[in-house]
Structure 1
Amino acid sequence: MSENKRLLDDESKAFSKASRVKYFNIVVDSGKGATITDADGKTYIDLLASASSTNTGHSHPHIVKAIQDQAAKLIQYTPAYFANNPAVKLAPRLAALAPISGPVELSWGNSGSDANDAMIKFARAYTGRPYIVSFTGAYHGSTFGSLTLSSVSLNMSRKIGPLLPDVVKVPYPDPWQRLDGEDEDAFVDRMFKAFLQPFETYLPAEEVAAVVIEPIQGDGGIVKAPTAFVQKLAAFAKKNGILLAVDEVNQGMGRSGKWWSIEHFDVEPDLMVVGKSLASGMPLSAVIGRKEILESLNAPANVFTTAGNPVTTAAAMATLDVMEDEDLVGRSVKLGKKASDFFAKEKAKYPFIGDFRMYGLDGGIDIVDPETGEPDPEATTKLIYRVFELGAIIISLRGNILRFQPPLVITEEQLDQAFGMLDQAFSELAAGKLELPDNADEIGW
């Protein structure tokens, strides 16, 4: 019996199925740069970057040293009552990076989920209004507030209602859902009209605290909203005293070729949340916003025993060092262009690649039935499993979208190796050589 199987069999006796989206039956044992190694000693090129939470790669020496040095000094003393040295230094450094004019403050959390909850708290407190608007296809987290904002899977609402009240969802302007013959201007007009419909029929704008959006949706398929739509949204929000709140948990920290994905749109948010890669995967998040908004609540409205603790904030300080010293934002742009060129060539060769988008080193590749153009989840599962067998980790979103988010430190040689594996899998699918794994019905969202 393999070590992977032995460990997973032992875990299954004590681990809830609600706590993991299944893909491949491995136990990750170690990682270095853009590779991970499982309990059986097999190494894979990582094209997922731990769900975009390790943009700096695995076990970066500078970050490891920061964690080790801080752990030897002080692992935890609750930031709920006392400051600690790394957090004191990190707060102004991170606030200065926010794409928000004027005085900026932040509040720590442990995950993107509780940071989105915090965004709801501060928006309601500052405006004195109850309603929050979010978008279909969104993933904001798994706490009750963030889960209520989300709408990427029915299992995030099935059996667990009632959810947070006064949250209204509107259609996300997914450009890949344009009608035949519909140009972008007409699409934006149509989607903005759908956005306005609640405000014109039952939702008083003066009672809405915030609109929460992923400028580029992550788990919704790596999909960028049209710039004109986001600008119309920002103007509407400003006109009506509604806060524009952006979720940068998945798409921030250089992932899209900018520090923050909202920087692609030439608008400023009032609030934003960060997490995942903020501390290179260590449990740290933050809600960041205009000072007057973050001053609208008093402690203990957003206090956590471990949020902003010494080790996680030391890791985040080192993460920012690596992002800046190795120009990982610029690297995301450069390698994203290389990836875009590769997928353009593959699309020309294989009709089952319906379309793709790449924003920095951040891509979604649609797998479709060549005859109908409809999503093909079965072919997608065959592909990700074959790529896994060949030695790389890539997963699916929405059933038929390949999620391409390698660590920003991946080498060009590793990227070329991964492209070779993807091309082999594509060619084998085209030749009818791929079969579904035995557990195909368990795989994916």
Structure 2
Amino acid sequence: MSKNQDILNEEKMHLADATRVKYFDIVIDHGQGAIITDANGRDYIDLLASASATNTGHSHPKIVAAITAQAKKLIQYTPAYFANTTTAALAKRLTELAPGNFDKQVAFGNSGSDANDAMIKFARGFTGRQYIVSFTGAYHGSTYGALSISGVSLNMARHIGPLLPGIVKVPFPDQTQRLLGESDDDFSERLFKQFKLPFETYLPADEVALVIIEPIQGDGGIIKAPQKYMSLVYEFTRENGIVFAVDEVNQGLGRTGKMWSIDHFGIAPDMMSIGKSIASGLPLSAVIGRTEIMSSLSAPANVYTTAGNPVTAAAALATLDVIAEEHLVARSEKLGLLAQEFFEQAAKRYTFIGDVRLYGLNGGIDIIDSSGMPDNVATTKLIYRIFELGAIMISLRGNTLRFQPPLVITEKQLTHAFNIMEQAFSELAHGQLTLPETDNHIGW
């Protein structure tokens, strides 16, 4: 029996099922750049980047050095009571990095989930209103507030209600759901009518505190909202005094070929949440927002003992340095075009590849059956075979391949990954793939 399996068998007795979405029987031991190595010593090309939490790759030397130096200097003294030099520097840098030509402040957290919780708090505190509008297909996190505004899995609501009150969900403008021949503008107008329906029937706009959206949904399938739709929603919030917030936890920090996914739309949000890759995977998040909104609450309304921990702040400062110095935003855009070409060409050869969506090194590739319907079984066969061949890729929504490699991946590694995927595609087309024994446990 492999060392991987020995560890998994032991862990299974102690780890709660609710804490892991199961995919492959692998135990990761270490990583470098875009390569991870399991407990058996086998290397894999990482096409997931720890759920887009390691955009700078694994164990980047500059980030490791920053973490080490800070740990020798000060590991922790809670920013909830006293400032420290490292976290103070990060706060200033983040306000300068966020879009919008207005004064901003930062609130730190430990995860994207609590950052999205914080945006609910600040929006309610600033407006004095109660209602929150979010979107179907959203994934905002697993704390109660973030979970309540999410809409990507029934297991995020099953057996754990009641959830946070005052939440209204509207349909996300999933462009894969356009009618035949429907233009982006017509689709935007139709979905905006659905957005307005609650406001016209039961939801007073002057009682809505917040509209929160992922400009490009992550776990919902890597789906970008149309420009016109985003503009219509944004203008609606301006007309009605509603805080407009974006979740950049998954899609920020260069993932989409721009620093922030909202940069694709030319809109400066009132608030934004960041996490995951901000500290290259260490537990750090932040809300960056207009000063008048962020100053609407007083401590301890959003205080955490370890939020803004100096080691995580040092990692974040080094991460931002690496993104700038290695031009990772531009690199994401450039390599993303190579990936788009690969998947679009594959879609011409294989009928089971449906919609292909690439925004930087960030893609959702739908796998469909002969009638054009989602094919979850084929998708599971593909990701499992890709794993066997030496790359880590998972699925979203059951039938969407999730392509999110570290932004530092080399062109040689990317080409190797394409070759692996091409082999898996070919084998599926020839009926050579079978489901793994654990297929009923794989995916969301």
Q: TM-score range by the shorter chain?
A: over 0.9
Structure 1 residue 386 and structure 2 residue 389: aligned?
Answer: no
CA deviations on 1:210-230 (whole Å, 9 max, x unpaired) are 100000000000000001000
Which residue number corresponds to residue 351 of structure 2?
351
Matching residue of 1:419: 418
Counterpart of 2:395 in structure 1 is 396
Looking at structure 2, the residues matched to 95 and 338 of structure 1 have their Cα atoms a distance apart, in angstroms, of 33
State the SS of the aligned residue for 1:190. helix
Distance in 2 separating the partners of 1:226 and 1:101: 24
Letter in 2 for 1:115: A
How many residues get paired? Answer: 444
Q: How does 1:175-254 map to 2 (within 5 A)?
A: 175-254=175-254
Q: Does 1:57 align with 2:62?
A: no
Alpha-carbon distance in 2 for matches of 1:234, 1:256: 21
Residue deviations 1:245-273 (CA, integer Å, cap 9, x gap): 00000000000011100010111100100
**Structure 2 partner of 1:376:** 375
- Give the Cα–Cα distance (whole angstroms) in 2 for the partners of residues 24 and 382 of structure 1: 12
**Partners of 1:137 and 1:223 in 2: how far apart?**
10
* Residue 363, structure 1, aligned to residue 382, structure 2: no
Give deviations 1:331-385, integer Å, cap 9, x for gaps: 000000110111111011001001101001100000000x200000000000000
Whole-angstrom distance in 1 between the partners of 2:364 and 2:378: 15
In 1, the alpha carbon distance for the partners of 2:398 and 2:78 equals: 41
The Cα offsets for residues 416-439 of structure 1, whole Å up to 9 and x where unpaired, read as 000000000000000000000001
Distance in 2, matches of 1:99 and 1:173, equals: 23
The aligned residue for residue 14 of structure 2 is 14
| Whole-angstrom CA distance in 2 between matches of 1:78 and 1:432 | 57
Query: Residue 123 of structure 1 aligns with which residue?
Result: 123
Give the letter aligned to residue 432 of structure 1: G
Judge conservation of contact 1:357–1:365 (CA < 8 Å) in 2.
yes
Cα distance in 2 for partners of 1:119, 1:436 equals 42
Aligned residues of 1:333 and 1:361 also touching (Cα < 8 A) = yes
Q: SS state of the match for residue 132, structure 2?
A: strand
Please give the alpha-carbon distance, in whole angstroms, between the structure 2 residues aligned to 1:308 and 1:133.
28
Task: Tell me the equivalent position of 1:432.
Answer: 431
Counterpart for residue 268 of structure 2:
268
Distance in structure 1 (CA, Å) of the matches to 2:84 and 2:5: 42
Give the Cα separation in 2 of the matches to 1:78 and 1:87: 11
Paired AA for residue 417 in structure 2: A
Give the CA deviation at 1:100.
Answer: 1.9
Query: Aligned with 2:185: secondary structure?
Result: helix
One-letter amino acid of the counterpart of residue 61, structure 2: P
On the 8 A contact 1:137/1:217 being kept in 2, the answer is yes
The Cα shift of 1:91 comes to: 0.5
Task: Single out whichever of 286-295 and 175-184 deviates more from structure 2.
Answer: 175-184
Give the alignment of 1:67-216 within 5 angstroms.
67-216=67-216
Q: Deviations over 1:76-109 (max 9, x none)?
A: 1111101111101111111100012211101000
Structure 1 residue ranges (4+ consecutive) displaced by more than 4 angstroms after TM superposition: none
Alignment partners' CA distance in 2, 1:258 and 1:293? 26
- 2:192 alignment partner AA: F
* C-alpha separation in 2, matches of 1:102 and 1:157: 37
Shift of 1:115: 0.2
| Residue 306 of structure 1, CA deviation | 0.2
Q: 2-side partners of 1:381 and 1:253: how far apart?
A: 29
1:181, distance to aligned residue in structure 2 (A): 2.4
Q: Secondary structure at the match of 1:315?
A: helix
Q: Does residue 328 of structure 1 match 2:354?
A: no
Name 1:281's counterpart in structure 2: 281
2:300 is the counterpart of 1:300: yes
Q: How many angstroms apart in 1 are the aligned matches of 2:60 and 2:188?
A: 42
Contact 1:57 1:409 in 2 (8 A): yes
Indicate conservation of the 8 Å contact 1:100/1:289, yes or no: no
Ranges in structure 1 where 5+ consecutive residues have no aligned partner: none
